[in-house]
Each structure stands twice: as C-alpha cells, then as structure tokens.
Copies of this chain bind each other. A is one copy, B any other.
Amino acid sequence: MKIGIIGGGSIGLLFASYLRNVFSVTVYTRTYEQAKEIIENGIILLNGIKQMRIPVHALPVDEWPGDEDLTIVAVKQYQLDEVIKKINNVDHSNKNFLFLQNGMGHLKLLSKLKAKNILVGSITHGAYKENANTVRHNGVGVVNLAVYHGDQSFLHYLESMLPTTFPATHHQDYYEMLLNKLIVNAVINPLTAILQVTNGELIKNPYYFKALNELFSEIAYILNLKKPEDELQKIINICQNTAENRSSMLKDIEGGRKTEVDSILGFLLEEAEKQEKKVPLVSSLNFLVKGKEIKREE
C-alpha cells in the first residue's frame, strides 16, 4: 500500500519512520528544503539510546499527487483548511484518509471531504522534532484510531499492518475517543502554558491543583460528563506520569509558535454557546493563551 504523509512536523516524521518498514511512504513537507534534507539524509529517529537513519521519500506538499491509497494528514488544525481544499481539488472518492489533529476543531472541516474512508486518530506518543529530518521518540504510546466516515474494514487492515513497535488501538466511537483526549488537553495545556510550568506542577502545587479542579468542573459542565470523577482521575494520572514534560501548548508558546487553543478551548466555547452556558474560566483562559500567542509576534 502506498501512503502519503502530509506534514513534516514531529508526528509526520514519527509516522514516516515507523510505517516505512511496512508501506511505501512519501512525506509531503511545507518547504522544498525539508523535502531535500529528508531525501538526502533520511529521517533520523532517536529512540531512547538508539539512533536510526531511515530512508524515506519526500516532496514539497505543492507537488502532492494525491494518488496514494492512504493519506495521513499530520498538520496542525489551523493549517487544515488549506489541506482540505487541496484534497477536494481532485476526486478522492476511492481513497482513504487519516487525520491526526488534536482537539475537535477539525471535525467540522472533515464533513466537507469526499473520500472512501476517513479515519481520525489521537496519539499518546511523545515526539519532539529536533530539526528538519530528526525526530526524538521520547515517550512510547499508542495510536488511537476510529472511523469517522466509511466502514471498519480499512481500519482493521491498517491496524493489522502496523509494526508491534508502533501499535494502534481501535475505538468504536470516534467522537468519544477525541473527546477523551480533548478533556485532558483542555485542562493541562492552558494552565501549563499560562503559568509556564511542567505538567507535574499542576498537581504538586496545591493551589494550582485547586485551579485545575475548578477548570475541570467547568469543562465537565460544558460536556455534561456522566462520570466526571473518572475523567478527573485520568488527568491527575497523566500529570503524574508526565510530571517533567512541558505540554505542547507551553512548548508552542515558548517556541513562539501558534498554539492549538482554537481546536481545544475554542471547541468547548462553541459547545457552551450552543447550550447557552456561561463559562467564564474557559473563556478567560482562552483569551490569556491567545494573548500570549500575540505577545510572541512582537
């Protein structure tokens, strides 16, 4: 099977590294320079103490032919609009897609897409892009997969083909699957980004932990969670297990990049608005993160 991966960020490079052994993979990068670097030197995968050089084909995304059986879209949610337009320029009604965006903001864009099967995924791997062709796999996790559109057979096939070192978990309900990750991200990401602290600090510092609880309560109220205590415990466990990590939103703020706040808190604000619920904490934290984004531009 031929696979195209749109996006040469940490997740795109990670997927390319692991899928290269099983499939014919091409990575489509935003810049010509990155594609050239990957073609000439391969992708360097740093995995614990090992370092592997993995030859992978690459092209700038403008040259994407769109003829692969499966296209994995690994761009940020705020870059997705453009990619969907590109996809819809050509008939892809017998092709398959997998979308790996964080949050839930991308779902409304996917409804515009015509394809045979559309999968969505959420990743628990830790990955850090060290440079144009180097990715550090610094936390082994799992790829959660679910069908957004189409039937289960393609998902089952894909799942069965993935290497054991890069396993997938199959979920029946794509909405619930993405929501589970969104809840975690919506609590940990904004607080760590605003306070500029590691994940563990949110549970170690008793006052930060009280703020975490208040934010979680507002999110549980928006989403009408049936068992909020289970979800809260999951967040606490993740803070414990990733205590030394800096969240993706904190890293984006520190690195002067745009964050994914629109697809996380933005999604929750839309949900709250639909239900005419007042959510002052989510609203203000959204503004504080967006304010920090602006500050980086100065």
Q: Which residues of A contact B (CB under 8 A)?
A: 194-195, 197, 201, 205-208, 210-211, 214-215, 218, 280-281, 283-284, 287-288, 290-295
Would you give the shortest CB distance from A70 to chain B, in whole angstroms?
39
Would you give the shortest CB distance from A86 to chain B, in whole angstroms?
30
Is B215 a contact partner of A284 (Cβ separation < 8 A)?
yes
Would you give the shortest CB distance from A253 to chain B, in whole angstroms?
11
A289 — nearest CB in chain B belongs to which residue?
A: B207
Q: A205-B295, A206-B294 are in contact. Are A211 and B288 (CB under 8 A)?
A: yes
Would you give the shortest CB distance from A295 to chain B, in whole angstroms?
6
> How many chain copies does the complex carry?
2
Is B291 a contact partner of A208 (Cβ separation < 8 A)?
yes
Query: Which are the 6 A-B pairs with shortest beta-carbon distances?
Result: A207-B291, A211-B287, A208-B291, A207-B290, A207-B287, A210-B287
Task: Provide the main secondary structure of the chain A interface.
Answer: helix
Which residues of the partner chain B approach A197 to less than 8 Å between Cβ atoms?
295
4 more A-B residue pairs beyond the given contacts A206-B294, A207-B294, A214-B280, with a C-beta to C-beta distance below 8 A? A197-B295, A205-B291, A207-B293, A211-B287
Which residues of the partner chain B approach A287 to less than 8 Å between Cβ atoms?
207-208, 210-211, 214
Which residues of the partner chain B approach A293 to less than 8 Å between Cβ atoms?
207
> Could you tell me the distance between the alpha carbons of A291 and B283 in the complex, rounded to whole angstroms?
21
22 contacts between A and B (CB under 8 A): A194-B194, A195-B288, A195-B291, A195-B292, A205-B291, A205-B295, A206-B294, A207-B287, A207-B288, A207-B290, A207-B291, A207-B293, A207-B294, A208-B287, A208-B291, A210-B287, A211-B287, A214-B280, A214-B287, A218-B280, A280-B280, A281-B284
Which residues of the partner chain B approach A206 to less than 8 Å between Cβ atoms?
291, 294
Q: Which of B208, B218, B283, B294 contacts A214 (CB 8 A)?
A: B283
> Could you tell me the distance between the alpha carbons of A74 and B283 in the complex, rounded to whole angstroms?
38
